[in-house]
Structure 1
């Protein structure tokens, strides 16, 4: 199992789309930091904490692009290349293969999601100091926000992987995932205004809670939801993915 995971991580490392996204996000983070620092409002200092906030905002779009592109090329693309068939015949169980692929995919999404916030935070800290927050230790907020970013990246990866691994065409995965992720929140907000039941459901999903990971003050109830919902999502969709992959005919 360890060798299988290493193999998947190596394939992720060699995946051109993953490398392209990392390079793009690094450039974007540097440009964003420079623009905000030198062209932003003089009333708001671009500190490390401010950079983290901007990075978290940009990550809403970064997440959708990363899930679609890496899911399409890294997971779905293996069907067209025949790699999935080789993996299935390698002697490992379907559960082990899927788990390794999901772990590598989630690791890739986590790295991509941390790129912009970490660089923006570092840039702001170098230029104007780390900064401070009222009623909350800035360093604790920084670590908490990164921890939530990691947790929610893994949760979204577990959702998309169920579809991406069982889809044999990269373009279909990229298009479908982007379409769903770009419009899911908007449609859900509209449905929430029409149905109290759906509103309750939506407010207890990772889609809604992900938008709240940057909040400064959290009640005990909010903190519990922010932790437990993504963990439950990972377990549920990992199980669903394994079941789907077991039944899938690999050609």
Structure 2
């Protein structure tokens, strides 16, 4: 298993689409706060400090996570089905469950790295321009490590869903298109259906789709943190097991 994971991480480091995503995310992470800095400067408005920027714009990282998972799933994993590499891997003699798990770990590691670029790089740039400052009044002193840790956890949860649907569709174009639409529309769909089917409201409220927006909350109640931790872990487990079942039954051409 260890060697399988090492092989996936090696392929990830060499993958051109992964490098391009890292570069694009880094450029956007530098450009986004710079636009705010220039706009505030020309308008005579007070500048954000690094800490304030992280608190106010952490929610924007959700779009980076969704886009990077959809793109990397299509170019890094689904492309192996198209080129025939997946057939060679599946016929290597290793258990398909172990192969899928190793691929999930490697893929998750890649998108988890990408998920940290925006908060860390933008915060560093704003800190250089305007100073790091202090966390706004009322913000939990453990806000930064908590929000970064939850970012990694929820990215892994979304990654498990992404790899599951990649095993279903197997084609780059279909995978990217479906995941982009799914991640962008699922909140609206579940929220709308919840008005007619109350059970779906409960499902949505305790899903990674809803709770991703809550990881940047300034303060958490005593009961919120356990939920924020448990939901992505269950998502990883359920989506991972479903993915293994799909992959084991899949006829790979």
CA distance in 2, matches of 1:42, 1:220: 40
Would you say the 8 A contact 2:167–2:246 is kept in 1? no
* Matching residue of 2:71: 69
Would you say the 8 A contact 2:207–2:231 is kept in 1? yes
CA distance in 1, matches of 2:198, 2:39: 43
State the SS of the aligned residue for 1:220: coil
Poorly superposed stretches of 4+, deviation over 6 Å: none
Q: CA deviation at 1:137?
A: 4.5
Task: Give the structure-1-normalised TM-score.
Answer: 0.93
CA distance in 2, matches of 1:81, 1:74: 11
1:190 aligns with 2:192: yes
Would you say the 8 A contact 1:48–1:123 is kept in 2? yes
1:14 aligns with 2:14: yes
1:223 aligns with 2:234: no
Superposed CA deviations along residues 155-192 of structure 1, whole A, max 9, x for unmatched, are 01111111103422110101111111111111222222
CA distance in 1, matches of 2:29, 2:94: 40
CA distance in 2, matches of 1:10, 1:51: 34
Would you say the 8 A contact 1:76–1:166 is kept in 2? no
State the SS of the aligned residue for 2:194: helix
* Matching residue of 2:127: 125
Q: What's the RMSD between the two structures over aligned residues?
A: 1.6
1:52 aligns with 2:54: yes
* Matching residue of 1:35: 35
* Matching residue of 2:155: 153
CA distance in 1, matches of 2:22, 2:197: 40
Task: Give the structure-2-normalised TM-score.
Answer: 0.93
Unaligned runs of 5+ residues in structure 1 are: none
Q: CA deviation at 1:228?
A: 0.5
Of the three residues 99, 118, 121, the one matched with 1:97 is 99
Would you say the 8 A contact 2:205–2:211 is kept in 1? yes
Unaligned runs of 5+ residues in structure 2 are: none
CA distance in 2, matches of 1:7, 1:232: 26
1:88 aligns with 2:93: no
State the SS of the aligned residue for 1:217: coil
